[in-house]
Chain A
Amino acid sequence: MSALRVFVADDEAPARDRLRELLEDISDEVPSEVVGEARNGLETVERVPGSGAQVLLLDIHMPGIGGLEVARHLARLSDAPAVVFVTAHDRHAVEAFELNALDYLLKPVRAARLAAALKKAQGAGPPADASLERADARAREYLPVSERHRIVLVPVTDVLYLKAEQKYVTLRTREREFLVEESLVSLEQEFAERFVRIHRNCLVARAAIRGFERAAAGEEEAHWRVKLEGVPEALPVSRRQWPVVRALVAEK
């Protein structure tokens, strides 16, 4: 039996050391090799794709991106590893794991439990995105954008607006545009706190709104447009959404 390729992600060095030790302890039962380590969520997302890992031991409480969100981003990979979550104490997370049949270990991890989890993970593929989504009640902090062969994450806080154009959704930051493979409706639901819908095809970051201008274009009816911080373009507000948007301005 060839050694199982394991990736260890935890922000605490002693915790990573401990897992390595345990993997060695159980190597007779489940031969394994550690193919990579990461100290936070972003590192994990960057390093796992090239590592060839079959199983990811993933701490859920990490700086940057939490473990559950990391798993959601990694699940998009074609050769995504199976995931065993590790947590010291997070009642909500544990409940969510139980409910959605996600495998997890409690810290301090016991050798026997680790062996059992690895055996189970060996055959299993990556966790289903739907169960990850259900387990993670919070909105994500990063959005994956389409780039060739790798995962590029854009912090949600950098997003100025999201605009649906034919098949894709365009994501605009100060610097540039990206394409997102998610629907505007689901994005609107997940990030309702951060974005407001100004038009059937457009969500705008509330924090980026700088003002409004009235624009009359040719024979069209005059309409309002939103001016945003950091980008020159102004976005049209539909008549239907105008009351909502205006109320927002009044709050400011």
Chain B
Amino acid sequence: MTSINQNDTPDVLPDFRNLGVVARILVAVNVMALTAALYSATGWMHARDRFVEAAALIEPMLLSVVLVLYIVAPRLQRMNYVAGCAAVLGIALLFALATHAYWARSETLAAGLGRTFVLTALAVALLLGYFRLRARAYSPALAEARLQALQARIRPHFLFNSLNAVLSVIRRDPRRAERALEDLADLFRTLMSDARQFVRLADEIALLERYASLEQLRLGERLRVAWEIDAAPSDALLPPLVLQPLLENAVYHGIEPGTGVGEVLVHVERRGDRVLARIENPYHPEHQHRAGNRMALDNIRERLMLFFDAEARLETRIVDNRFRVEIEMPYRAERSPAP
């Protein structure tokens, strides 16, 4: 019989090095233990005692399993899904056996080895099932993210003004016009690419430079961009169009409302296993009714969440009359697999 694969995104194991995943495992197992305690106990106090007993048994095992999964996560990611699941189950059962062996010497142990195995296997199956469902639920969300990225990105205002600027230099400086159209083409190529894939930081920075060059054509000396990108890890991976919209916002809200010269700062660096990006622009409090800024920021925050779960953050601040957006995300080098 031929199988029809309707889902073009294959199942993958969760990333056991992700803080969100680890937290979910810890909470879920403890909730299961609590449920069992509440169910089997005769009263509230009894239930509490039961839970404490169970915790003494479960916690060391649970933490060991999580630790081992953390260590072998890259290997697991390379296995196919079924083998990966089997490996996870194997690890859990191994620790169940070890725990059992340890407690068997004392007399407090209630369950037999068989029941310990079944309980462990059930917990593993439930969790893997949950993560699979969650990943599936999010894959349309990722597809959606692409649409959102498109909608929130590149203001028509920018497109039409840029085209207008290109038209204005065509006669006097055809080469500059050519370059501007090439930049525009690159920008749109990225916009129309698959937003579910990670991109290299170097590519995102190249995009920033193309974008800045177009804005420069339009705004001339009014726009100054200070680049602090020497310490940027070019092989880091990040969701596409995370920085470019921030630069676009910076120009739109920081430079365009001003009559004089304004400076935008682009700062990207790696600090340990984190990548930090900061974009600053002059702050014009009287022009905050030009909305849309929040929307773009929410969109980026949401996409960072989809890609990095709890490990990325985006913050905005106003410092010394400058509007500052900071992004912090885990440093993932090019070879590590996508979620």
A: which residues have CB within 8 A of B? Answer: 11-15, 17-18, 21, 39-40, 42, 61, 63-64, 88-90, 106-109, 138, 141, 157
Contacts and interface: CB of A to CB of B under 8 A. Distances in A.
Contacts of A14: 164-165, 168-169, 217-218, 220
Interface string B251-291: 00000111100000000000000000000000000100100
B171 interface: yes
A68 B156 CA distance: 20
Contact of A88 (B160, B172, B286): B160
Contacts of A157: 286
B21 to A, nearest CB: 43
Nearest to B155: A89
A90 B290 CA distance: 12
A169 to B, nearest CB: 23
Given A39-B259, A88-B156, A18 B161 contact: no
Contact of A63 (B160, B165, B217, B258): B258
B161 A107 contact: yes
Given A21-B168, A39-B259, A63-B256, A89 B160 contact: yes
Interface string B196-229: 0000000000000000000001111000000000
B155 to A, nearest CB: 8
B163 interface: yes
Nearest to B260: A63
Given A88-B157, A89-B157, A138-B289, 20 more contacts: A11-B256, A12-B218, A13-B220, A15-B161, A17-B168, A17-B172, A18-B164, A18-B165, A61-B157, A61-B256, A63-B257, A63-B259, A88-B160, A89-B159, A107-B163, A107-B164, A108-B163, A109-B164, A141-B286, A157-B286
Given A14-B165, A15-B164, A40 B259 contact: yes
A141 B156 CA distance: 25
Nearest to A91: B156
Given A13-B220, A21-B171, A107-B164, A90 B289 contact: no
Interface in B158-199: 159-161, 163-165, 167-169, 171-172
A90 B167 CA distance: 20
B219 A12 contact: yes
11 contacts: A11-B256, A13-B220, A17-B172, A18-B165, A18-B168, A21-B168, A63-B258, A64-B259, A89-B155, A107-B160, A108-B167
Most buried by B among A17, A106, A141: A17
A17 to B, nearest CB: 5
Nearest to A90: B157
Contacts of B259: 11, 39-40, 42, 63-64
A17 B172 CA distance: 10
Contacts of B163: 107-108
A107 B172 CA distance: 19
B218 A18 contact: no
Contacts of B219: 12
Contacts of A107: 160-161, 163-164
A191 to B, nearest CB: 14
Contacts of B159: 89
A18 B245 CA distance: 27
Contacts of B161: 12, 15, 88, 107
A109 B165 CA distance: 11
A138 B286 CA distance: 13
A71 B160 CA distance: 23
A90 B259 CA distance: 21
Contacts of A88: 156-157, 160-161, 164
Nearest to B257: A63
A141 B164 CA distance: 28
B168 A89 contact: no
A111 to B, nearest CB: 11
A95 to B, nearest CB: 15
A90 B158 CA distance: 11
Nearest to B163: A108
Going nearest first, the 10 A-B pairs with the smallest beta carbon separation are: A14-B168, A18-B168, A88-B160, A89-B156, A14-B165, A108-B164, A107-B164, A88-B161, A17-B168, A40-B259
B160 A108 contact: yes
A90 B155 CA distance: 10
Contacts of A108: 160, 163-164, 167
Contacts of A138: 289
Contacts of A39: 259
Contacts of B286: 141, 157
Contacts of B165: 12, 14-15, 18
Contacts of A42: 259
A107 B158 CA distance: 11
A64 B278 CA distance: 27
A39 B260 CA distance: 10
A18 B217 CA distance: 13
A108 B219 CA distance: 16
Contacts of B167: 18, 108
Contacts of A11: 256, 259
A88 B257 CA distance: 16
Most buried by B among A21, A63, A157: A63
